Amino acid sequence: MKFYVDYFGCRSNQAEIQEWILELENAGYMLTSAVEEADFGILNTCSVTEKAEKDIFRYINKVYHKADTRWVITGCTVSKEKARLRERYKNYCFFDNKEKENLVESIKELFPVEDNIVYHSAFRSRIFLKVQDGCNFRCSFCIVPSLRGKSRSLPIAEIVKKARHYSALGYKEVVLTGINLSSYGYDIFPRENLLNLIKELKKIKALEFIRLSSLDPRYIRYSFIKELSLIKKIADSFHFSFQSGSDHVLKRMKRGSKTLDYKKILDHFHRFFPEANFGADILVGFPGETEKEYLQTFEFVKQGKLNYMHLFPFSPRRGTKAELMEQLPVPVVRDRLKKLKEVNKEKRIEYRERFIGKALWGILIEEKDNYSMVITKNFLSVRVPPTMGFKRRKVKVKILRVINENLCEGEVIKQPVRRSRVRAASGGVRRTQPISPGSHIPNQ
Ligand code: SF4
């Protein structure tokens, strides 16, 4: 039985999708990248912005009227709009966030398989590993805590077990994700923390890189940064949920941090990771954001140590405090967003140019006829001349030029010994090629 997957939203949603793929494949289902040949589809939804929600309704509408495939739809939009969705799309199955934990079991009941063959889709180089869900904060613009509940962390032993399983499947990099990753372990008794988790994960030999998704500045301490820098496997790209560079806006957002805290965090990180790629979420056009406040954010990102931004135009979410605040005119938000996008582009290019002529470690993620792609440890995409048989291997690349704000050109200067040769020398064990139905997971 074939299934198709898609998702909207954050890394946590992506991590969940990856986990379901592996579980379903182990149970005898086969992933397909063609929706029309799937027996059922799975969609993981997001309600973080109004736009995301509208896009989801548009998406469901389209598949509902175009294809016969049945869909299993889950995630934040279902938690928020279950009755409306059920009413509108009668033969689809909807599971809210609470029901997500048993999603694979529910799918097995809805779409039973008879054979026990395990289909493994093409190995990817990195996997998102969800270690935490929910959030205890109440930022005034955010709907997520009411849809995902309080912070819950997985025990370290369980995460290590999963990571070992993934590395045995061929994954070289894990990206630790959570709704509020930095709060990892605070809800566990005895209390745990992100650093302890990373220290355990680094022991997995086949795992080359451990990457962290967005970090909440409220949890970051000097000692955390210092100890992190001693862990060689930590990928040196760090993303922070800053949201604004204006103290007044941050106060109205109820972020509990100030720009001075942000500057200190960036200084400390920069001290221990001088070459790292630093990024932040920035919410543009928060209610009441004055020209002065916007310019403070503009200067903060332009002059500061950030190398890129994820920019989001503010959209009010029902039931949040920010919904009741005075909204800015749409053209003002659009104009501010446009200017910040230009800064973002400049910063991204500037950062990439720093590495021209330098060598960086990375994982070779794609081999095509006329080129191969490497993602470096500091998260640069580098196009290199075609290679053969090095996919998912750690390589060293020299950066030759910057093509645009998203892409560099380079050459592989150090390749690992090809596994097939090593195996042949030690008895000629042949590697089983994975069945490759393709994948619909973006951002690999
Ligand atoms: S920290 Fe704030 S923005 Fe992030 S999930 Fe929690 S409430 Fe939302």
Digit-coded pLDDT (tens) for 365-381 = 989 999 999 999 999 99
pLDDT of residue 125: 77
Neighbours of 230 (CB within 10 A): 10
Type of residue numbered 190: P
Ligand 1 close to Cβ of residue 180 (< 6 A): yes
Return the half-sphere exposure (C-beta side, CA atoms, 13 A cut-off) of residue 116. Answer: 0
Q: Is the pTM of this model over 0.85?
A: no
Residue 181 near ligand 1, beta carbon < 6 Å:
no
User: What's the CA-to-centroid distance between 255 and ligand 1, angstroms?
Assistant: 8
Structure tokens at 208: 């080359």
215 lines ligand 1 (CB under 6 A): no
What pLDDT, on the 0 to 100 scale, is given for residue 359? 97
Three-state DSSP class for 98? helix
What is the spatial distance between Cα 431 and Cα 409, in angstroms, rounded to a whole number? 31
What pLDDT score does 428 carry?
A: 33
pLDDT of residue 170: 84
Contacts of 58 (CB under 8 A, 6+ apart): none
Q: How far is the CA of 330 from the centre of ligand 1 (A)?
A: 24
Pocket test for ligand 1, best of 177, 179, 181 (most atoms within 8 A of CB): 179
Residue 138 Cα: closest atom of ligand 1: 7
Mean pLDDT of the chain: 89
Q: Identify any residues that bridge with 408 across adjacent strands, giving them in sequence order.
A: 382, 402
Under a CB-based contact definition with an 8 Å cutoff, are residues 245 and 272 in contact? no
Q: Is the pLDDT of residue 255 over 90?
A: yes
> Which residue from 137, 152, 250, 317 has its CB within 8 A of the most atoms of ligand 1, so it is best to mutate?
137
Cα 254 to ligand 1 centre (Å): 10
Cα gap 288→373, rounded to integer Å: 44
Residue 139 beta carbon below 6 angstroms from any ligand 1 atom: yes
Task: Tell me, in angstroms, the distance from the centre of ligand 1 to residue 23's CA.
Answer: 29
CA of 138 to the centre of ligand 1 (A): 6
Atom of ligand 1 nearest to the CA of 143: 8
Query: Where along the chain do the CATH 3.30.750.210 domains lie?
Result: 125-235
Cα 336 from Cα 283, distance rounded (Å): 11
CA 131, CA 110: separation in Å to the nearest integer? 28
Residue limits of CATH 2.40.50.140 in the chain: 359-425
Task: Please state, as a whole number, how many other Cβ atoms lie within 10 Å of the Cβ of residue 134.
Answer: 20
The predicted-structure confidence for 307-341, as pLDDT tens digits, reads as follows 999 999 999 988 899 999 999 999 999 999 999 99
Residue 203: count of CB within 10 angstroms of its CB: 11
Class at the top of the CATH hierarchy for domain 359-425: mainly beta
Q: How confident is the model at residue 417 (pLDDT cuts 50, 70, 90)?
A: low
Q: Which of 209, 214, 289 is nearest to 250 (CA)?
A: 289
**What are residue 5's DSSP bridge partners?**
42
320 lines ligand 1 (CB under 6 A): no
How sure is the predictor about 444, in pLDDT bands with cuts at 50, 70 and 90? very low
pLDDT confidence of residue 208: 94
> What is residue 40's three-state secondary structure?
strand
Give the SS3 label for residue 32.
coil
Three-state helix/strand/coil letters over 112-154? CCCCCCCCCCCCCCEEEEEEEECCCCCCCCCCHHHHHCCCEEC
Handedness of CA 226, 188, 150, 209 (dihedral sign): positive
**Using the 8-state DSSP alphabet, how is residue 392 labeled?**
T
Residue nearest to atom 8 of ligand 1 (CA): 142
Question: From residue 10, how far is each of 77, 88, 266, 366 by CA, in Å?
Answer: 13, 25, 23, 23
What is the pLDDT at residue 121?
59
Would the pLDDT of 1 be above 70? yes
CA of 144 to the centre of ligand 1 (A): 7
Which range has the worst mean pLDDT, 184-193, 263-272, 426-435? 426-435
Going by alpha carbons, the residue nearest to atom 2 of ligand 1 is: 139
Give the ligand 1 atom nearest the CA of 243: 3
Q: Indicate if the pLDDT at residue 420 is higher than 80.
A: no
Instruction: Provide the CATH number for the domain formed by 125-235 in this structure.
Output: 3.30.750.210
Mutate to test the pocket of ligand 1, among 186, 215, 241 (most ligand atoms within 8 A of CB): 241
The token duo for 168 is: 């045995």
Token pair listed for 44:
């993981």
Query: Between β-strands 381-384 and 407-414, what pairing exists: parallel, antiparallel or unpaired?
Result: parallel
* The total number of residues written for the chain in this structure: 444
Per-residue confidence band for 288, with pLDDT thresholds at 50, 70 and 90 = very high
> Measured between alpha carbons, how far is 238 from 404 in angstroms, rounded to an integer?
21
Confidence check: pLDDT of 122 > 60 = no
pLDDT mean over 236-252: 97
pLDDT of residue 221: 96
Could you give the CA distance from residue 169 to residue 173 in angstroms, rounded to a whole number? Answer: 11
Ligand 1 center to 124 CA (angstroms): 30
Substitution site in 48, 130, 139 for ligand 1 pocket (most atoms within 8 Å of beta carbon): 139
- Region 134-159: what's the mean pLDDT? 94
H or E segment to which residue 44 belongs: strand 40-45
> pLDDT tens for residues 194-217?
999 999 999 999 999 999 999 999
CB distance 142 to ligand 1 below 6 Å:
yes
pLDDT of residue 117: 63
| Mean per-residue pLDDT, 342-371 | 96
CA 375 vs. chain centroid, Å, equals 14
β pairing state of 40-45 and 30-31: unpaired
Query: Quick one: pLDDT band at residue 418, thresholds 50, 70, 90?
Result: low
Task: Provide CATH 3.40.50.12160 ranges for the chain.
Answer: 2-110
* Whether pLDDT at 293 is above 90: yes
Topology of domain 2-110 in CATH is Rossmann fold (3.40.50)
Answer whether 111 contacts ligand 1 (Cβ < 6 A): no
CB neighbour class for 205 (10 Å; exposed up to 12, middle 13-18, buried from 19): exposed
Of 52-66, 129-143, 418-432, the range with the highest mean pLDDT is 129-143
Q: Identify the helix (H) or strand (E) that includes residue 54.
A: helix 50-66
